[in-house]
Amino acid sequence: MKQGCVFKVEGPWSQVESDGLNYRCSLRKKVKVAADRQTSPVVVGDTVQFVETSPGEGVIEGILERRTKLSRLAPWARGKEHVVVANMDQVLVVVATKDPPLKTRLIDRYIIAATNGGLRVALCVNKIDLVDEGDMSWVKDMYGSLGYPVLFTSAVKGVGIDELASVLKDRKTVLAGQSGVGKSSLINRIQPGLGLRIQDIRKAARKGKHTTSWVTLLGIDIGGYVVDTPGIRELGLWDIGKQDVAEFFGDIWEIGKDCHFSMCSHTHEPRCAVKTAVERGALDKLRYESYLRILESTKENSTR
Ligand SMILES: Nc1nc2c(ncn2[C@@H]2O[C@H](COP(=O)(O)OP(=O)(O)OP(=O)(O)O)[C@@H](O)[C@H]2O)c(=O)[nH]1
Ligand SMILES: [Mg+2]
Ligand SMILES: [Zn+2]
């Protein structure tokens, strides 16, 4: 039996790297059945055991337990868990200053999904060339104060690429975010010559057009691995109940310790320290609104 790492999954085939060689592997049926609550039994980043059946081909017999995972609720298979990638160290949430516009809502959702899956989070604000950097300082203030590294980059102008490299170096990082924010462009900057397909500027206005269509694991020369993912519009949270949401908002969690009710949801309850903090300006209204929106959506989507 050989052991290797899955770097690409295409339909029934998993591409596995083992001792510097690549194998195209199918899956033993017992492995499929064991994971039927998930959209795919094997995902990029998985460590698998396989037997070589012919040169360069094999059959996966088992998947090792995942150290971490980035999961989302599968919109196309309601209730199932879609594991985007396994065994990464961190998620680099990529947003753009504009085109497409920055949405804190998606950032907050990624923070929850990543934290829940055992991953660290860093934030990359790309396309900084399109605005005054000062207009974006609120992002650094908000997420920096919560403890997440915040980078300002321009893949086109080559701004902030050294800082990005130092965040990626010797780590396994998945780049995630909306379509068109520049994930593939940033990876091309870090590792020139990869030639990842990026969106044609003339087609950039076309909505819903994804340029990257496969999740792919790539080694980078500075050390470490990056995973390029196709952009998504909305991140459905998997395995997050209503009662869990506040835990992932560190600032709200802290303030909430002073609420009158210990199980306060910070929505309708009297003597709520969180609502008071918003009124007094001690808690950013945007943060509170983001909390409320996520709370609302987990009610509908709760998997418990
Ligand atoms: N002005 C500006 N444009 C950028 C920057 N980075 C990327 N772009 C452009 O934005 C468009 C989208 O870039 P991609 O790298 O394809 O975006 P992506 O996030 O990989 O998109 P998907 O693969 O669809 O998820 C391309 O036309 C890029 O040239 C940047 O820093 N500044
Ligand atoms: Mg891409
Ligand atoms: Zn409260």
pLDDT score at 233: 83
* Token pair in block for residue 34: 């064991």
Lowest mean pLDDT among 33-42, 177-186, 241-250: 33-42
- Pair (11, 57) in one structural domain: yes
Ligand 1: atom nearest CA of 159 is 31
113 and 192 belong to one structural domain: yes
- Nearest Cα neighbor of 53 from 25, 89, 79, 78 is 25
Give the distance from CA 62 to its chain's centroid.
25
Share of the chain above pLDDT 70, in %: 93
Say yes or no: 100 and 203 in one domain: yes
Q: Which two structure tokens, joined as six digits, stand for 279?
A: 């009124």
Examine the pLDDT at 303 and tell me if it is beyond 50.
no
Highest-pLDDT range among 26-30, 156-160, 209-213: 156-160
Q: What is the pLDDT of residue 128?
A: 98
Q: Among 25, 46, 63, give the residue marking a domain's end.
A: 63
Among the residue ranges 85-94, 204-213, 291-300, the one predicted with the least confidence is: 204-213
CA-CA distance, 151 to 149, in Å (whole number)? 7
pLDDT of 92 > 80? The answer is yes
Residue 294's CATH number? 1.10.40.50
Residue 160 predicted with pLDDT over 70: yes
In a domain, 233, yes or no: no
Q: Which residue in this structure is represented by tokens 């915040």? A: 150
Residues 19, 132: one domain?
no
Please say whether the beta carbons of 269 and 259 come within 8 A: yes
Q: How many domains does the chain have?
A: 3
CA-angle at 239, arms to 233 and 243, nearest 5°? 105
Cα torsion through 103, 105, 110, 115, rounded to 10 = 140
Ligand 1 pocket: which residues have CB below 6 Å?
A: 126-127, 129-130, 154-156, 179-185, 198-199, 201, 204, 210-212, 230-231
CATH number at residue 146: 3.40.50.300
Q: Is residue 235 part of a domain?
A: no
Q: Is residue 234 one of the residues assigned to a domain? A: no
Task: Write down the residue that tokens 């690409």 correspond to.
Answer: 8
162 shares a domain with 106? yes
Residue 115 contacts residue 108 (beta carbons within 8 Å): no
* Pairing between β-strand 21-27 and β-strand 13-18 as defined by DSSP bridges: antiparallel
Mean pLDDT over 148-177 rounds to 98
- Determine the Cα–Cα distance for residues 20 and 238; give it in Å rounded to an integer: 35
> Do 202 and 255 sit in the same domain of this protein?
no
Judgement on whether residues 125 and 160 belong to the same structural domain of the protein: yes
Task: Specify whether 201 is located in the same domain as 151.
Answer: yes
Domain extent at residue 163:
69-228
Chain mean pLDDT for the chain: 91
Which residues place a Cβ less than 5 A from the ion ligand 3?
259, 264, 266, 272, 274
Using DSSP's 3-state secondary structure scheme, residue 298 falls into helix
Which of 188, 206, 228 terminates a domain? The answer is 228
Is 199 part of any domain? yes
Strand 57-63 relative to strand 47-54, pairing: antiparallel
300 confidence band (pLDDT: 50, 70, 90): low
Pocket probe for ligand 1: among 187, 199, 216, 235, the residue whose CB has the most ligand atoms within 8 Å is: 199
The whole-angstrom separation of Cα 18 and Cα 49 is 10
